[in-house]
Amino acid sequence: MNKYYLLGLLFLLSTLDVNSQCSMLSAIMETDQGYESAKGLNRGIVYLMSIPYILVGLIIWKIYRMNKAE
């Protein structure tokens, strides 16, 4: 069992930095007014990405509360 934990830890620590952009962001950054548009696009991506984390957190909290009440 410890071998699997070690393998998981090794996997998490051995990630590489990846530099990539979606084509939409790349096209916006090539224009003159790219900074403000890219900033807005980045905020939108972060907003859309945060919603599933919040929902999963609420579900886990609800399950924890139900188990604690029993």
Tell me the H-state helices in 1-70.
Answer: 2-13, 23-29, 34-69
pLDDT of residue 5: 82
Our count of domains for the chain comes to: 1
| pLDDT tens-digit map of 14-34 | 765 555 556 666 666 666 665
Q: Taking the model in full, what pTM does it have?
A: 0.46
Residue 56 lies in a domain: yes
> What are the 10-residue block averages of pLDDT along the chain, 70 residues in total?
78 63 64 68 80 92 88
pLDDT of residue 55: 93
35-44: which pairs have CB atoms within 8 A and are 24 or more residues apart? none
Residue 57 lies in a domain: yes
Residue 4 lies in a domain: no
pLDDT of residue 21: 56
Residue 6 lies in a domain: no
Residue 12 lies in a domain: no
User: Burial, 38: exposed, middle or buried (Cβ in 10 Å; 0-12, 13-18, 19+)?
Assistant: middle
Tokens encoding 60: 């886990």
Domain membership of residue 31 as a residue range: 20-69
